[in-house]
Amino acid sequence: MRRFSVPILLLLVTLGALAAPGRAADKVRVVATTTDLKALTEAVGGDLVEVDALARGNQNPHDLEVRPSLMVKVRRADLIVMNGLELDQWAEVVIQGANNPKLVPGAPGRVDASEGILVLEVPTTRVDRSMGDIHPVGNPHYTTDPGMAPAITANILNGLVRVAPQGRPAFEKNRQAFLAKLEQAEAGWVAAMAPLKGTKVIVDHNMWVYFLTRFGLVQAASIEERPGIPATPTHVAKVIQLIKDERIRAIMTLPWGDAKLAARIAEEGGAKVVPMAPGVGGAKGTSGYIDTVDYNVKMLAQALK
Amino acid sequence: MRALAYIALLCLALATPLAPLTAAGQDKDEEIAALRRELENMRKTMSTLAERLQALEAQPAPAPAGQAASGQAPSGQPYVGDVAQAPPGSAPPSMMDLARPREPFALYRQRGAGQLLFDMGVTGDFIANLTQRNVDKANAGTFADRENRFFPREIELSFFGQIDPYARAEVRVEAGEENQGEINLKLAEANLTLMTLPFGTQLKLGQMRNRFGLLNEIHEHDRPQIDTPNVLVRFLGEEGLVERGAEAVWVPQLPFYIQLIAGVFDGDNETLFGRGKISEPLVTGRVRTFFDFDEFGAVQLGASVASGPNADRQQTTVLGVDAKYKYKPENWLHPLITVGGEWLYLWKPFTTEGVDDNGDGIIDHPAENRTRHKQGWYAWVDVQPWRRWLFGVRYDWTEFPDARGREWAIGPYVTFMPSEFLRFRLGYKHTERDKRDLFGDNGGSARIVDEILLQATFILGAHPAHPF
């Protein structure tokens, strides 16, 4: 073993030297688990932050493969913004593998963006896995609703201030500017969706309840009979019948959903498939948070005309 | 004109005393309007507070102390919440913080005695195997002394979670059939990890599955095939390396991922080491790195070493290199192709027996210390065209560490997963050895072994994800 000791020592010294320089700029390094949270963090942080997302916009954030390349991003971060509500539990494994003491549970470099959110679909009865991959603390897809942005950005602001208190005035200013812009855009979305209030839609995964509630639409059924479990033929037949009976016109789909099945149901029932952007970057032209909501509103409004 | 002048004077005379009354009326109107506005604001605030209260009541646990809870705008209403001040004193723990006594009692008071602050889960792993009679007699199958049986291999009860802001712990107790009809209960793992040490290091202390190679750290029910690869069983024993001691992990802050692990252990593994003294320790090391080829393909490379004295205090060393590649097409929820493999090289010293050539009672060739050089490897490929179905095959080749001879095996298998918590596997394994008498229990022998293997695995409760 002694013959190996010199190369091992050299390797350790080299790595130590490479690791030492640390950060290039004074920006706060932030990692967000989803692209929505990345966009909202950028909106608050502005030029003072450098934000990376762990999941892509068209990726299923429930079930991300924990790659060591994600740990590289987390290893260097000062702050991690997490969706919470058990959507991104895989991030804990990434944090553990990254050996970054600033982000371990209880550390100030963690932001749970769901704090203070009015959570929908919180089970009120006993739940177990016979119900599928159910979220026992409620539906975690609150970032689809632009009305949640004030609360989310408030949580992000608090986190940023914890790690970079000197940036508070700039963060607050950025946040107010973003919320003003969002409010302006929201007026247009509300107007576009107003004639569709009460309209029923089908979803492939139970992800749009916050978005639909915001604009007064109703989710009639989900192609997934139970979350995370593929639909049975009986359930598919029921959904098709429901579309016919209720004259439902739109099936909102996700990039990772079963596109063939959605297309078949739409064809047999006489509805349209509406490919939605589940997050920022989840479809063409959705590079920012406002763009993404705008895309989803337009896609749905157009399909339901 | 005079009459008009009188009327004007009269109006002025009447208006002069009434003027204060009119002003008072206007003030009252303004006051009423202000009160109405205030009432409206209070109504909105009440409404928002009611919704927030409802939300808080719906949540199973209260928000952590010191964290800001910001209101959310209900549909059609303006957002009224504001940003809370950052909690004081939330700086990273210093060395002095680490040295101070911990006070977790606040957590206990906050959550109450009836609530668990950690996760727990149960895993069940059942195996069935069918093989030839001579293999059964010689205990020469993949699951020695359990041939032609259906048995619980690993029923595991696990507890894991944060101890405090600085450390986490895991405890796993498992029961399983190791010999025909005998269920053994044992401590599989019990360790704590200090997570906030300086320079991005972590320290794991206790009993653990060592991070050696690709599969050793993974529990049997989570491995990619029904059985453990032959080279790992022959070199490290059926249990693999499960040791007591300490393991330090360093992930340097680099543009690419590299993980360096060094450990010091008792060396209880009887197959390879067996000295069992921390004063003469088993020393382990591992380097792991990872590259993303593109968004959808990635490879992990690793090298491991374990070196320690055996029961006779002879230094034994095993070196391993491993690789794993996964390809996951865009928008797929699972990989389409997974390829992995591991190669082990063993330096195993032993002492020869003295030889008396002519039977005169004098040792002509005295006992001497020699070293066996042995190696083995395995490789597998998995193809998962559908979420619920996976098809794979593994090839094994290994020498025997304590005897001359080698064996190879090939085993195709198919996996069906109704959900991520339930899995069934059916496999076939064909093994050929170059000697008949390597396994000879009960006077039997087996050079060629054919086996049909079945595995059923379930998970109840929490189960942490495995990286890559």
Report residue A25 as tokens: 């700029």
Q: Residue B32: what pLDDT? A: 78
Contact A22 B307 (CB under 8 A): no
Q: Residue B106: what pLDDT? A: 42
Residue A134 pLDDT exceeds 90 = no
Contact B69 A116 (CB under 8 A): yes
Contact A99 B73 (CB under 8 A): no
Higher per-residue pLDDT: B349 or B104: B349
Which candidate from A69, A99, A158 shows the least CB-CB separation from B68?
A: A158
- Mean pLDDT (chain B, rounded): 83
Cα dihedral B205, B206, B207, B212, rounded to 10, equals 10
Higher per-residue pLDDT: B5 or A155: A155
Pairing state between β B337-351 and B369-383 = antiparallel
* Kind plus residue range of the DSSP H or E element containing B350: strand B337-351
Neighboring chain A residues of B74 at a CB cutoff of 8 Å: 118, 147
Q: Residue B465: what pLDDT? A: 74
pLDDT in tens, B235-272: 999 999 999 999 999 999 888 999 999 999 999 999 99
Residues A109 and B97: their CA atoms lie apart, in Å, by: 17
**Chain B 215-244, residues with CB within 8 Å of chain A CB atoms:** none
Q: Residue B80: what pLDDT? A: 36
Mean pLDDT of A267-286: 95
Neighboring chain B residues of A12 at a CB cutoff of 8 Å: 260
Neighboring chain B residues of A230 at a CB cutoff of 8 Å: 387-388
pLDDT in tens, B189-236: 999 999 989 888 999 999 999 999 999 999 999 999 999 999 999 999
**Residues facing A44 on adjacent strands:** none
Mean pLDDT of A184-197: 95
The answer to whether A31 and A156 have CB atoms below 8 angstroms apart is no
Higher per-residue pLDDT: A223 or B365: A223
Residue B91 pLDDT exceeds 70 = no
Residue B133 pLDDT exceeds 90 = yes
Confidence of residue B25 (pLDDT cuts 50, 70, 90): low
Other beta carbons within 10 Å of A168: 15
Q: Residue B79: what pLDDT? A: 40
Report residue B386 as tokens: 């559908």
Instruction: Choose, out of B47, B51, B57, B67, the residue to mutate when testing the contact with A (most A CBs < 10 Å).
Output: B67
Q: Residue B420: what pLDDT? A: 84
Proportion of chain A above pLDDT 70, given as a percent: 92
Residue B355 pLDDT exceeds 70 = yes
Q: Residue B466: what pLDDT? A: 75
- Alpha carbon of B13: minimum distance to chain A alpha carbons (Å): 55
E strand map for A70-187: 79-82, 110-112
Mean pLDDT of B74-99: 46
Q: Residue B54: what pLDDT? A: 59
The answer to whether B81 and A116 have CB atoms below 8 angstroms apart is yes
Residue A270 pLDDT exceeds 80 = yes
Contact B331 A15 (CB under 8 A): no
Q: Residue A132: what pLDDT? A: 78
The answer to whether B415 and B393 have CB atoms below 8 angstroms apart is no
Residues B151 and B137: their CA atoms lie apart, in Å, by: 18
B200 contact A CB<8A:
yes
Contact B196 A89 (CB under 8 A): no
Residue A12 pLDDT exceeds 60 = no
Residue A182 pLDDT exceeds 90 = yes
Higher per-residue pLDDT: A201 or B444: A201
Q: Residue B367: what pLDDT? A: 85
Residues A147 and B79: their CA atoms lie apart, in Å, by: 8
Confidence of residue B376 (pLDDT cuts 50, 70, 90): very high
The answer to whether B366 and B351 have CB atoms below 8 angstroms apart is no
Kindly list the strands in the beta sheet with A272-275, ordered across the sheet, starting from the edge strand earlier in the chain: A218-222, A200-203, A250-253, A272-275
Report residue A269 as tokens: 């029932």
**Chain A 60-79, residues with CB within 8 Å of chain B CB atoms:** 60, 63, 65-69, 71-72, 75-76
Residues B438 and B445: their CA atoms lie apart, in Å, by: 8
Q: Residue B169: what pLDDT? A: 95
Q: Residue B44: what pLDDT? A: 62
- What's the whole-model pTM score? 0.77
Q: Residue B294: what pLDDT? A: 74
B51 contact A CB<8A:
yes
Neighboring chain B residues of A161 at a CB cutoff of 8 Å: 86
CA-angle at B429, arms to B425 and B434, nearest 5° = 160
pLDDT in tens, A45-65: 999 999 999 999 988 898 888
Confidence of residue A127 (pLDDT cuts 50, 70, 90): confident
A219 contact B CB<8A:
no
Q: Residue B105: what pLDDT? A: 43
- Alpha carbon of B158: minimum distance to chain A alpha carbons (Å): 17
pLDDT in tens, A198-232: 999 999 999 999 999 999 999 999 998 887 777 88
**Which amino acid, residue B166?**
Y
Neighboring chain A residues of B458 at a CB cutoff of 8 Å: none
Confidence of residue A237 (pLDDT cuts 50, 70, 90): very high
In angstroms, the Cα distances linking B367 to B199, B363, B374, B401 are: 50, 9, 21, 20
Q: Residue A230: what pLDDT? A: 77
B15 contact A CB<8A:
no
Which candidate from B52, B249, B387 shows the least CB-CB separation from A99?
A: B249
Residue B81 pLDDT exceeds 60 = no
A17 contact B CB<8A:
no
Q: Residue B416: what pLDDT? A: 96
Neighboring chain B residues of A155 at a CB cutoff of 8 Å: 68, 70
Contact B419 A15 (CB under 8 A): no
Q: Residue B108: what pLDDT? A: 43
Contact B72 A96 (CB under 8 A): no
Q: Residue B225: what pLDDT? A: 97
Contact B86 A158 (CB under 8 A): yes
Residue B100 pLDDT exceeds 70 = no
**Which amino acid, residue A36?**
D
Proportion of chain B above pLDDT 70, given as a percent: 77
Confidence of residue B48 (pLDDT cuts 50, 70, 90): low
- Alpha carbon of B162: minimum distance to chain A alpha carbons (Å): 8
Contact A229 B420 (CB under 8 A): no
Q: Residue B331: what pLDDT? A: 79
At residue B384, φ and ψ (nearest 5 deg) are -125, 85
Contact B70 A12 (CB under 8 A): no
**CB pairs < 8 Å spanning A and B:** 205
Contact B72 A76 (CB under 8 A): no
Higher per-residue pLDDT: A16 or A79: A79
Neighboring chain B residues of A19 at a CB cutoff of 8 Å: 200, 252-254
Residue B115 pLDDT exceeds 90 = no
Mean pLDDT of B398-413: 95
Range A241-246 contact pairs with CB under 8 angstroms and sequence separation of 24 or more:
A241/A269, A242/A202, A242/A269, A243/A202, A243/A269, A243/A270, A243/A271, A244/A269, A244/A270, A246/A200, A246/A220
Residues A44 and A172: their CA atoms lie apart, in Å, by: 7
Q: Residue B179: what pLDDT? A: 87
Mean pLDDT of A166-193: 96
Contact B91 A108 (CB under 8 A): yes
Contact B333 A109 (CB under 8 A): no
A255 contact B CB<8A:
yes
ipTM over 0.90: no
- Tell me which of A226-230, B273-277, B419-423 is least confident: A226-230
